[in-house]
Each structure stands twice: as structure tokens, then as C-alpha cells.
């Protein structure tokens, strides 16, 4: 739908590259653990209380490794974490499992981009400020709500 809209507005099809971000399931689950733990603490409960319901967790401290094993145990054999997700056959697959500049390198490679060698993950973090994004479905454009500027 977005590609069709871009073409409709005059963007040549050969100027459009679709990338599909992939991530190692263990890396993904480890990220979930830290996010869930932070959210539990912000709500004044423990990680163990949070996971009683959906992971059926009973017992001692729920460490990151125990959380990973518990989540992996919920996935049916031959199943995936990405339930309801369909691969995009025209997309270039890009691994973003690295929690460092390598995932930016992988995106650059897929998009055939080059950048300065002095660009580092740390320099990006120092410059990038969080900005709440909204998807405007009616006009098919992603908007930066703090500036109301279309991203594409």
C-alpha cells in the first residue's frame, strides 16, 4: 500500500527499496526482559509478579536467562516469535541483532549507502533526540508530531 502510494505520487519504482529488519530471537527476548523489568519496576511490582500470568512463573528470581528459557518454552515446535507476520518477498532482509553500529552498517549495505568513517553508534546516540511518531493512516504518511513534518 505504501509502495503503491509512493509510485502514485511520482516516485519511480526503481527508487524504492524495501528492507525487512530481522533479529535473532534470543536477542529479541533479552530486549523484552529488560523492557518488562523496567516497566514492572515503574509500576511498583516485581518481574516475577509480572510473569505469573503469561509465563506461569512460580519460584525464585526471574533472571534474564530464566526469562529467555521460559519465553522460548511458550513457542510451539516449529513456531516463531513473529506470529501473524508475513515475509515480504521483495524485501532485502537486514539483520539488526547487533546492539552496536553493526546494525546500522547492515542497513547501509542493504540500501547501498556510504557514510563517513567517523560516524559511530555513540555519536548517533549523542545527537538523536526521541520524537514521538504517529502513523497517519488517512494520508499514508508518517508524521513527527513535534514538528508535524512528513518523514517521506
Confidence of residue 147 (pLDDT cuts 50, 70, 90): very low
Question: By percentage, how much of the chain surpasses pLDDT 70?
Answer: 84
By residue count, the chain amounts to 152
Which backbone phi and psi does 151 adopt, to 5 degrees? Answer: -80, -25
Distance CA 31, CA 70 (A): 14
The contacts of residue 75 (CB under 8 Å, 6+ apart) are 81
The contacts of residue 72 (CB under 8 Å, 6+ apart) are 25, 26, 29
DSSP reduced 3-state for 149: strand
pLDDT of residue 26: 92
In this prediction, residues 96-113 reach a mean pLDDT of 87
Contact 17, 110 (CB under 8 A): yes
Q: Where are the domains of the chain?
A: 17-150
pLDDT of residue 143: 38
pLDDT of residue 133: 55
Contact 27, 71 (CB under 8 A): no
pLDDT tens-place string over residues 13-68: 988 889 998 889 999 999 999 999 999 999 999 888 888 877 878 878 899 999 99
In terms of pTM, does the model score above 0.85? no
Confidence of residue 113 (pLDDT cuts 50, 70, 90): confident
Amino acid at each position: 500500500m505504501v509502495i503503491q502510494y509512493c509510485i502514485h505520487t511520482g516516485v519511480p519504482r526503481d527508487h524504492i527499496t524495501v528492507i525487512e529488519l530481522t533479529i535473532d530471537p534470543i536477542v529479541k527476548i533479552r530486549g523484552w526482559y529488560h523492557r518488562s523489568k523496567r516497566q514492572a519496576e515503574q509500576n511498583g511490582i516485581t518481574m516475577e509478579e509480572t510473569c505469573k500470568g503469561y509465563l506461569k512463573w512460580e519460584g525464585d528470581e526471574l533472571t534474564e536467562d530464566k526469562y529467555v528459557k521460559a519465553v522460548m518454552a511458550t513457542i510451539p515446535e516449529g513456531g516463531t516469535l513473529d506470529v501473524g507476520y508475513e515475509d515480504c518477498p521483495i524485501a532485502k532482509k537486514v539483520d539488526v541483532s547487533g546492539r552496536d553500529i553493526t546494525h546500522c552498517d547492515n542497513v547501509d549495505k542493504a540500501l547501498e549507502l556510504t557514510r563517513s568513517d567517523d560516524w559511530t553508534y555513540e555519536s548517533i546516540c549523542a545527537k538523536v533526540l526521541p520524537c514521538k511518531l504517529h502513523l497517519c493512516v488517512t494520508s499514508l504518511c508518517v508524521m513527527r508530531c513535534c514538528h508535524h513534518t512528513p518523514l517521506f
